[in-house]
Amino acid sequence: MALAALSGDEQRIIFSQLCNVLDPGVAVTFSSASSELRALTQPQWQQLKADYEAAAALGRKLGKGSCKELREATSVWWYSRGLTAAGLELLGKLGLVLPALEDLRLYESSGAAGRDGVQRLADKLGAGALPAVTLLRLGDMHVGDAGASALAAALGRGALSRLKHLHLHRAAIGDAGLVALAPALRRLPALEHLYLAGNPLGDEGIAALVAPPPRAGAPPPTTGGLATFNWLNLWDTQITDAGCATLASALNSGALPALLECELEGIPARAAARAAVAKALNS
């Protein structure tokens, strides 16, 4: 038997590569090829079993009756049913084995996710995680500047590579968070919608998104960021006249070629400043 010629470490490595928390059958079959192999992989097999049970429990909370149903789901919606920080962290770990998921919406207004739940989710999104997700909506959950930075890092690793719609509603993201997130958003090739309503971000954050200063010594970019960006919601943020001027300037310069709608209700900027943005949109 060819497996017998491999060392114990090599057999354990093969087993670990076959492990899929949501589809453990292949790894289990492999470990059952011989009693020696089963003994060698027993610790990993026990861990896989525990991880599978935890994933199944999370799947039930997410409204999926089985790991197979979760693995094949194209949408997951969670509305204030006690999604904890640990649950969000586990969901992040599962990002590599959810190839069909396109629509992920998480709302947790009860506070069960804590102040670091989204950060823990993002920290576990490895390269290639959630490869088909086009819509990510996090509503009434604390993201904060730390969570926004963690999400930026996840995007930088290649997670959520097809993201088109990002909704971060009342997520406690300030200027520092948007400044951290903006470069990653500008690198997304298909981003169309960005919903930031109800966050305490202001002029510095919006400038980082739509009009970042060139890096010292860097050549001019051959293509602009946000080329597909067509909708921006900044309701109830802290954008002032200066931020509106930045938006209008970016629009007039052609830096936002696809932007069709920019919603600015409930911000401190004066009506004339908001009108300047509207005029630039329509010019």
User: What predicted TM-score, i.e. pTM, was given to this entire model?
Assistant: 0.86
Cβ atoms of residues 195 and 169 within 8 Å:
yes
Q: What pLDDT, on the 0 to 100 scale, is given for residue 6?
A: 45
Q: What pLDDT, on the 0 to 100 scale, is given for residue 41?
A: 59
Q: Helices 144-157 and 175-187: crossing angle, nearest 10°?
A: 20
Q: What pLDDT, on the 0 to 100 scale, is given for residue 12?
A: 45
Fill in the amino acid letter for 113: A
Q: State how far the Cα of 163 lies from the Cα of 102, in Å rounded to an integer.
A: 9
Burial class (CB in 10 A: 0-12, 13-18, 19+), 46: exposed
Q: What pLDDT, on the 0 to 100 scale, is given for residue 177?
A: 98
CA angle centred on 163, ends 193 and 68, rounded to 5°? 130
Cβ atoms of residues 56 and 69 within 8 Å:
no
Closest CA to 229 of 252, 253, 261: 261
Q: What pLDDT, on the 0 to 100 scale, is given for residue 272?
A: 98
Q: What pLDDT, on the 0 to 100 scale, is given for residue 76?
A: 95
Walk along the chain (283 residues) and give the pLDDT tens digit of each residue.
Answer: 454 444 544 544 444 444 466 665 555 555 554 555 565 556 666 777 788 889 999 999 899 999 999 999 999 998 867 789 999 999 999 999 999 999 999 998 888 889 999 999 999 999 999 999 999 999 989 999 999 999 999 999 999 999 999 999 999 999 999 999 999 999 999 999 999 999 999 999 999 999 887 666 555 544 457 999 999 999 999 999 999 999 999 999 999 999 999 999 999 999 999 999 999 999 8
Q: What pLDDT, on the 0 to 100 scale, is given for residue 225?
A: 79
Q: Helices 271-282 and 241-252: crossing angle, nearest 10°?
A: 10
Q: State how far the Cα of 61 lies from the Cα of 78, in Å rounded to an integer.
A: 8
CA angle centred on 21, ends 143 and 103, rounded to 5°? 45
Q: State the DSSP string of 40-88.
A: HTHHHHHHHHHHHHHHHHHHHHTT-SSHHHHHH-SEEEEESS---HHHH
Q: What pLDDT, on the 0 to 100 scale, is given for residue 11?
A: 45
Which DSSP symbol is given to 137?
A: E
Backbone angles phi, psi at 227, to 5 degrees: -65, -25
Q: Is 107 helix (H, G, I), strand (E, B) or coil?
A: strand
Fill in the amino acid letter for 126: G
Q: State how far the Cα of 136 lies from the Cα of 145, in Å rounded to an integer.
A: 18
Q: What pLDDT, on the 0 to 100 scale, is given for residue 152?
A: 98
Q: What pLDDT, on the 0 to 100 scale, is given for residue 195?
A: 98
Q: State how far the Cα of 49 lies from the Cα of 55, in Å rounded to an integer.
A: 10
Determine the topology of domain 73-282 in CATH. 3.80.10
Q: What pLDDT, on the 0 to 100 scale, is given for residue 16?
A: 47
Closest CA to 1 of 33, 32, 35, 26: 33
Which DSSP symbol is given to 23?
A: -
Domain ranges of the chain: 1-71, 73-282
Q: What pLDDT, on the 0 to 100 scale, is given for residue 79?
A: 83
Strands (E), the chain: 75-79, 103-107, 135-139, 165-169, 193-195, 231-233, 261-263
